[in-house]
Amino acid sequence: MKKELSVLISRTGADYIVSSFFSLGITELKINDSNAINEVISSNIVWDYIDDKLIVPGEDTVEIIAYLEESNIEKTIEYIKNEMNSLTEVNYEKIEFSVNDFIDIDWLSEWKKYYKPIRCGKILVVPSWLRDSEQFEGSIPVFIKPGCSFGTGDHESTRMCLELLSKLELAEKSLADVGSGSGILGISALKLGGSKCCFFDIDLDSLSEAKNNYIINFCSNLEFSCDDNYFARKNVFFVKSNLLNESKKKFDIILANITADPLIKLSKDIKNHLMPNGFMICSGIIEKYRDYVVQAYEKEGLLLEREVVDNGWIAQLYKFSV
């Protein structure tokens, strides 16, 4: 039976614990080090937000976890103790061992139990494995296969985007989904009546996920023309691009659920991509950057028509009136 062996040690001794495990051929380790996030905070990297729960002031310990057969636990602890006792030149203040049961869970299947349909305006975001369910009457279902890309409907910024999108008249409108992630916004726009959508993302894996989610929603076994940076089918395009840098088109509606800094960068070129009387939906904004985003878009001639707030997150609807 497998067990979880946890070693809690002062930071000065952490590398030696890892080395001891490696010496025993144990290379699959989990390391919990609160100092990693503290180093990021004190660096020159600019973050929109960092969860307060990640910040542990004054903490100077590291936890190293290994997963071992129960029969190997005692001799592993003994070996590590002997190794650490021999390091007379290393001053570590404490070392603690704990052993817990290892619960082997098939997470790829287990988490599906807790992923339920989420209502966002007229849209009902549904996990792809519930596609054949009959519980969607009165809603417009959008099927998403959750993967590595952002956009499953469970985050406030995505939900607010979809709520604002549901209030627009989308028939025969062209749309751009900037930083498309899973493709949830663009796919929802097409289901709400949009006639054309371009999905833009800097990450090819995200574009692939968006394409696959499109297929799940509209058809199967589609043939896309494609190269390394581009997928296309009829009026649907998937383009590798930093924001809208690779686009020369104008759109009736632009959707961007990203964060404040790229939204502000996007504003500087927005008039070259938005049709007269077109709409822009911005989301992923936290309260302390709200005014900066508003100023950036109003400077370019867009008017803030609607704003929604949920749990500290903000989404905005702008109109480009000319």
Each domain of the chain, given as residue ranges in start order, spans 2-104, 110-320
Candidate ranges 211-215, 225-229, 262-266; pick with highest mean pLDDT: 262-266
CA–CA separation, 109 and 111 (whole Å): 6
Candidate ranges 18-22, 90-94, 139-143, 303-307; pick with highest mean pLDDT: 303-307
| Residue keyed to tokens 């307060």 | 52
Do the domains spanning 2-104 and 110-320 agree at the CATH topology level? no
**CA 277, 282, 194 angle in degrees (round to 5)?**
55
Percent of the chain at pLDDT exceeding 70: 80
- When comparing pLDDT for 285 and 43, which is higher? 285
DSSP symbols for 161-224: HHHHHHTS--TT-EEEEET-TTSHHHHHHHHTT-SEEEEEES-HHHHHHHHHHHHHHH-SS---
Q: State the pLDDT at residue 85.
A: 84
Q: State the pLDDT at residue 229.
A: 53
Q: Is the pLDDT of residue 294 over 90?
A: yes
- pTM greater than 0.85 (yes/no): no
Q: What is the pLDDT of residues 95-123, one digit of tens each?
A: 899 999 887 655 555 556 656 778 888 89
Q: Is the pLDDT of residue 148 over 60?
A: no
Q: State the pLDDT at residue 92.
A: 73
pLDDT-derived band at 83 (thresholds 50, 70, 90) equals: confident
β-strand pairing of 196-201 with 236-240: parallel
CA–CA separation, 254 and 318 (whole Å): 10
Q: Give me the chain's average pLDDT, please.
A: 84
Helix axis angle for 290-299 and 260-267, nearest 10°, is 10
Q: State the pLDDT at residue 218.
A: 86
pLDDT-derived band at 48 (thresholds 50, 70, 90) equals: low
CATH number for region 2-104: 3.30.70.120
Residues whose CB falls within 8 Å of the CB of residue 276, separated by 6 or more in sequence, listed in order: 320, 321, 322
Mean pLDDT of 282-308: 96
Q: Is the pLDDT of residue 168 over 80?
A: yes
3-state SS, residue 82:
helix
Q: Are 285 and 314 in contact (CB under 8 A)?
A: yes
Q: Is the pLDDT of residue 225 over 70?
A: no
- When comparing pLDDT for 163 and 152, which is higher? 163
CA–CA separation, 61 and 19 (whole Å): 17
Amino acid in the structure at residue 303:
L
Query: In which element (H, E) is residue 282 found?
Result: strand 274-286
Q: State the pLDDT at residue 285.
A: 93
Sign of CA dihedral 179, 184, 187, 192: negative
Q: Is the pLDDT of residue 321 over 60?
A: yes
CA–CA separation, 253 and 315 (whole Å): 15
Q: State the pLDDT at residue 214.
A: 92
Domain 110-320 fold: Rossmann fold (3.40.50)
Burial class (CB in 10 A: 0-12, 13-18, 19+), 307: middle
Sign of CA dihedral 156, 160, 161, 162: positive
Q: State the pLDDT at residue 256.
A: 97
Q: State the pLDDT at residue 184.
A: 95
- Sheet of strand 302-310: strand arrangement: 225-227, 230-233, 236-240, 196-201, 174-178, 251-257, 274-286, 313-320, 302-310
Q: What is the pLDDT of residues 59-74, one digit of tens each?
A: 578 899 999 999 999 9
Sign of CA dihedral 121, 127, 128, 133: negative
132-141, 146-155, 166-175: range with lowest mean pLDDT: 146-155
Q: Are 92 and 15 in contact (CB under 8 A)?
A: no
Q: Is the pLDDT of residue 58 over 70?
A: no
Amino acid in the structure at residue 174:
S
Tokens linked to 294: 């508003």
Q: State the pLDDT at residue 49.
A: 56
Tokens linked to 200: 């833009």
Q: State the pLDDT at residue 110.
A: 55
